[in-house]
Amino acid sequence: MGGLSLRGLSKSYGSLDIMRDLSLEIADGEFAVFLGPSGCGKSTLLRMVAGLEAPTSGEIHLGNRRIDAIAPGERGVAMVFQNYALYPHMTVKQNMAFGLRNVGTPRDEIASKIAIAAKMLEIAHLLDRKPGQLSGGQRQRVAIGRAIVKQPEVFLFDEPLSNLDAALRSRTRIELARLHQRVQSTMIFVTHDQVEAMTMATRIVVMNHGRIEQVGAPMEIYRKPSTRFVASFIGSPSMNFLPVVQAGESDGRALVRLADGTVVATEILSASVPRSGEMTLGVRAEHVTPGSGTAARVDVVERLGERTLVYAIVDDGSTIVYDEPGDVAPAIGEHVRLSLDPANVMLFDAAGLAYHAEPRA
C-alpha cells in the first residue's frame, strides 16, 4: 500500500504536447478527482498510470515501487472505463473472474471474492447474465465489481458516470463515496463534471491544457480558486466576472470601479495587487445582494426550488447572476440595485491569476 507519486510526467504524440512536466503526490487512501474540460489530458494521465500509454518522460511511483515501466496487469491498479469495456461474450461472473483466473487464483477463492463484491454492489442476481442483457447502471456496477475483486491499491475511474441518466448518476456518486469509505483504497477519478468533483473528492486536481491549475480540498477550490479558469470551472451558476479599474485603497484594502462608475470595496490587500493592467472582478451569485449599489435590469429569473437565481444586465452589458433572498422574485425588466460582498469578491489580473480577501487581524 502507498500513495501515488507522479514526477515530471510529460506526454507528446509526435510534435503535439499533451502534457508537460506534471508532478503530483496523491496520498494513500485519497479520493482524488481530476477535473478539467474535455481534451485537457485527463484520460491520457489515467492511461499512463494504468500502463496503457507510456509517458514520454517522467516517473510514476506507487508506494515504494516505480511502476511506469512495468506491465499494466502488474501495477496493482484497476480501471473502470467510460464505456465499461466489459467482455461481451462472458457472463458477469466470468467478467469478474477473468482477472483472477489470469493470475492463478484458486477456484474457491475466486468464488468467494465474487460473492463478496456482488453482495456489496447488489449484483448477485445478475451473475449469470451477459453484459448485453444489463442496463447501463448494472453494467457500471459490474465494471466496478470487476475492479474490486482484484483488490487493487489504486482504482482508476475514467468518467464512469457520464453514460448514466441524472438520477442514477447522483445515486452512483453517493455509492462510490460509500465504496471508498469501505475499501479505503486510493481512488483516482477523472471527470469534466464539477458536481462530481465537489461531491466525491477528498482532493480536487483542476487541469487545463495538460497542466495542473490547482490542487486542493473541494471547498478550498470553491472559495479560493487560484486562477480565473478554476473560478469559472467550479460552481454552478458560474462565477460572475466584471471588468474593473483600480480606484485606490481604503485602509490598505483595494478599491475598484465598475464600468458604471460604482466603486466596490474589497478585503484584498492593495499591496498584493499589481498596480496596473486590466483587472477582472469575480463574485459568486450568493455574494451579490439586491438593495443598494450598482444598477441593473432583470433579464431572466431561474427558480431552482432551494434557491432562485436572477440574471440581471448591468450598464456595460455584462450579466450578473445573484441569489434572490426572498420568495418573490423581481419581474423581468424591473430595475434593481446590487451590492457585492467585499469579503467575498476576488480580483484576477490579465494573466488570470487570482487575488483573494485577507481576513483582518
Ligand X SMILES: Nc1ncnc2c1ncn2[C@@H]1O[C@H](COP(=O)(O)OP(=O)(O)O)[C@@H](O)[C@H]1O
- Mode of pairing for the β-strands spanning 279-283 and 346-348: antiparallel
**Binding partner selected for residue 113 from another protein, Mg ion, ligand X, none, CB under the kind-specific 5 to 8 Å limit:** none
State the amino acid at position 26 in one-letter form.
I
For 311, phi and psi rounded to 5 degrees?
A: -100, 120
CB 316 within 8 A of CB 259: yes
Stretch that binds another protein, among 82-90, 223-231, 239-247, 305-313 (CB under 8 A): 82-90
Across 166-177, b (16+ Cβ under 10 Å) vs e yields: eeebeebbebbe
Site string for Mg ion, 127-156 (x = CB under 5 A): ------------------------------
**Minimum distance from CB of 43 to Mg ion (Å)?**
3
**Minimum distance from CB of 52 to ligand X (Å)?**
11
Q: Which residue is nearest to ligand X (CB)?
A: 43
Instruction: Find, among 183, 185, 214, 189, the residue nearest to 201 by Cα.
Output: 189
Instruction: Find, among 325, 331, 294, the residue nearest to 309 by Cα.
Output: 325
Q: Does the footprint of ligand X cover residue 100 (CB under 6 A)?
A: no
Site for ligand X in 35-74 (CB under 6 A): 36, 38-44
CB under 8 Å to 9, separation ≥6 — which residues? Answer: 19, 21, 22, 23, 45, 48, 55, 57, 58, 59, 60
Q: Does the footprint of another protein cover residue 77 (CB under 8 A)?
A: yes
Stretch that binds Mg ion, among 40-48, 97-105, 209-217, 228-236 (CB under 5 A): 40-48
Q: Does the footprint of another protein cover residue 144 (CB under 8 A)?
A: no
- Tell me how far apart the alpha carbons of residues 161 and 333 are, in angstroms, rounded to a whole number: 40
Interface pick for another protein out of 29, 99, 137, 330 (rule CB under 8 A): 99
- Tell me how far apart the alpha carbons of residues 330 and 296 are, in angstroms, rounded to a whole number: 12
In whole angstroms, what separates CA 299 from the centre of its chain?
30
* Residue count, binding to another protein (CB under 8 A): 25
Q: What is the DSSP string of 47-69?
A: HHHHTSS--SEEEEEETTEE-TT
- Is 44 or 308 the residue whose CB approaches Mg ion more closely? 44
Q: Does the footprint of Mg ion cover residue 226 (CB under 5 A)?
A: no
Site for another protein in 36-75 (CB under 8 A): 50-52, 71-74
Q: Which three cell numbers stand for residue 43?
A: 484520460
For 55, phi and psi rounded to 5 degrees?
A: -65, 145
* Residue count, binding to Mg ion (CB under 5 A): 1
CB under 8 Å to 10, separation ≥6 — which residues? Answer: 17, 19, 20, 21, 22, 55, 56, 57, 58
Interface pick for another protein out of 42, 93, 146, 356 (rule CB under 8 A): 146
**Minimum distance from CB of 92 to another protein (Å)?**
14
Q: Does the footprint of Mg ion cover residue 44 (CB under 5 A)?
A: no
- Is 46 or 314 the residue whose CB approaches Mg ion more closely? 46
CB under 8 Å to 339, separation ≥6 — which residues? Answer: 288, 289, 291, 292, 293, 294
- Is 26 or 121 the residue whose CB approaches ligand X more closely? 26
Q: Does the footprint of Mg ion cover residue 191 (CB under 5 A)?
A: no
Site string for ligand X, 155-184 (x = CB under 6 A): ------------------------------
Q: Does the footprint of ligand X cover residue 253 (CB under 6 A)?
A: no
Packing angle between helix 136-148 and helix 166-183, nearest 10 degrees? 10
Q: What is the DSSP string of 79-137?
A: EE-TT----TTS-HHHHHHHHHHHTT--HHHHHHHHHHHHHHHT-GGGTTS-GGGS-HH
**Minimum distance from CB of 141 to another protein (Å)?**
15
**Minimum distance from CB of 236 to ligand X (Å)?**
20
**Binding partner selected for residue 241 from another protein, Mg ion, ligand X, none, CB under the kind-specific 5 to 8 Å limit:** none
Task: Return residues touching ligand X (CB under 6 A).
Answer: 13, 16, 18, 36, 38-44
Task: Return residues touching another protein (CB under 8 A).
Answer: 50-52, 71-74, 77-79, 81, 83, 85-89, 98-99, 102-103, 130, 132, 146, 150
